[in-house]
Structure 1
Amino acid sequence: MRYNEYNQPIGDAVENYEKGEWPEVSCLEGKTVRVEKLNIKHASDMYEYFGPKSNPTTWTYIPLNQYNSYDVFENFVKKWVESRDPYYFSIIDKATEKVVGTIALMHIVPENRTIEMGWVIYSDFLRKTRQATEAQYLVMKYVFEDLKYRRYEWECDHLNTPSHNAAVRLGFTYEGTFRNAMVYKNRTRDTDWHSIIESEWERKKERLQRWLSDDNFDENGQQKQGLSSME
């Protein structure tokens, strides 16, 4: 523990500290997916899981509703393409070359090198798959190894158990719940906070790489060992 001249405890020194960079990505290449900067050309594929055929349960904990007009949706996507924060990505399944999910980096604070994963919107094809986990891994790796940020956050509605479980499975630490943190869709939200910090990344990375390894999947693409059981 460090103390100042008044004998008060203070945090560890951070030597040669500089603020971080803003995300700037064209493509993060994986084995089963590519994570690309959102582009208007992705809109037609996205409409499959944002439009009238989307799973209605997708929208319960997201401050959006499904779109019933492609023209309206395309204009909406154009705004996301131009956005700096959140900074939106498309997840492209390499087997089909279709956009199957959308995620974003948001609440970007270069001065503190903190950033959040958000706007996690998956098609039914992507849910609970190797591709989804690999997409999250690719963005984590970018955050810690390219941007060299110190803290990576995941927030969700306290009642959104699947999102909380996904964060914990991926290696985020649950930090607590902010009560009455938000109002959306005319209802209150308590927000669960989760994080990974830079000192934890190498261990989290090795765990994810072991799970994503081809050796962990059988000839039918089924996992042999679950990520939650790996330490």
Structure 2
Amino acid sequence: MRYNQFNQPIGEAIENYEIGSLPDVTCFEGKTVRVERVKMDHAKDIYEYLGPDSDQRMFSYIPLDGFSSYEEFEKFLLEEWVSKNDPYMFTIIDKASGKAVGNLGLLDMDKKNRVVEMGWVLYSNKLKRTRQATEAQYLVMEYVFEVLKYRCYKWECDHFNAASRNSALRLGFTFEGTFRNAMVYKGRNRDTDWFSIIDSEWESNKKRLQTWLSDDNFDENGNQKQSLSSMKIN
């Protein structure tokens, strides 16, 4: 424990600290997925799971509704995702089919303090609860900690969004608490649950994720042998 000249406890010193950088990436190449910077070439595939044929349950806990026309969606994609750097959006491409099957993004980027949030996680039904989804999260997490060298990686979700909360815990995030009355969206209150992984926890969580993602953990039918939730972070 460190103390200042007034005998008050203070945080540990950080030597040679510099502010961070913003994301600048074209593609992460994984074994089962590519995670690409979102672009208009992805539009038709994305529209399949965000358009009128989408599973409407995926919009319950985000400030977005599904799209009823392709023109409306294209305008949103260009103005809100492709043209902006916060959120810095990615598209998840299934390498087996070559099709876009989901999206996620980095947002609320605080380069001064090296803090960034994972958000806008939108998975098609083809991606939910798959090895590909976990590998996509792993590739972005690796970039955040090993290339950007950020100190804190956040995950926030509606308090009632059990699926998002469970995903955060499964991926190794630690529950920090609930911010009450944190947001108003879709005409209703949102209490926000906060989760985080910090840089000192990355190496142990990285090994855990790599172990789960390894070919040895899947049978000939692609079914997991051991669940990620059952693997301890050492």
| CA distance in structure 2 between the partners assigned to 1:111 and 1:85 by the alignment | 15
Secondary structure, counterpart of 1:118 in structure 2: strand
RMSD: 0.4
Deviation, structure 1 residue 229: 0.3
**Unmatched segments (≥5 aa) in structure 1:** none
1:20-58, CA deviations, whole angstroms, 9 ceiling, x for partnerless residues? Answer: 000001000100000000001101100000000000101
Match of 1:212 in 2: 213
Task: Report how far residue 15 of structure 1 moved.
Answer: 0.3
Code of the residue aligned with 2:70 in structure 1: it is Y
2:43 maps to: 43
Return the alpha-carbon distance in structure 2 between the equivalents of residues 9 and 146 of structure 1. Answer: 32
Following TM superposition, by how much is the alpha carbon of 1:68 offset from its aligned partner in structure 2, in angstroms?
A: 0.8
Partner Cα separation in structure 1 for residue 159 and residue 6 of structure 2:
40
TM-score, structure 2 length as denominator?
0.98
- Rounded to whole Å, the distance in 1 between the matches of 2:70 and 2:189 is 30
Q: Which residue of 1 aligns with 2:88?
A: 87
| CA distance in structure 2 between the aligned counterparts of 1:52 and 1:85, rounded to whole angstroms | 26
Alignment match, 2:102: 101
Distance 1:16 1:29 in 2: 32
What is the SS of the residue equivalent to 1:209? helix
Aligned length: 231
Alpha-carbon distance between aligned partners in 2 of 1:65 and 1:115, rounded to the nearest angstrom: 25
| Cα deviation, residue 137, structure 1 | 0.2
Residue 134 of structure 2 corresponds to residue 142 of structure 1: no
Per-residue CA deviations over 1:73-113 (Å, capped at 9, x if unaligned) read 01110011011111000000000010000000000000000
Structure 2 portions without partners, runs of 5+:
none
- Secondary structure of 1:34 counterpart: strand
The one-letter amino acid of 1:78's match is L
For residues 137 and 11 of structure 1, what CA distance do their matches in structure 2 show?
A: 30
Deviation (angstroms), 1:62: 1.1
2:32 corresponds to 1:32: yes
Matched, 1:66 2:71: no
3-state SS of 1:229 partner:
coil
Deviation at 1:72, TM superposition (A): 1.1
Give the aligned partner of residue 55 of structure 2: 55
- The reply to whether residue 197 of structure 1 matches residue 184 of structure 2 is no
Match for residue 4 of structure 1?
A: 4
- Which one-letter code corresponds to 1:167 in the other structure? A
Q: 5 Å matches for 1:119-134? A: 119-134=120-135
Residue 162 (structure 1) aligned with residue 158 (structure 2): no
Look up the SS of the partner of 1:181 in the other structure: strand
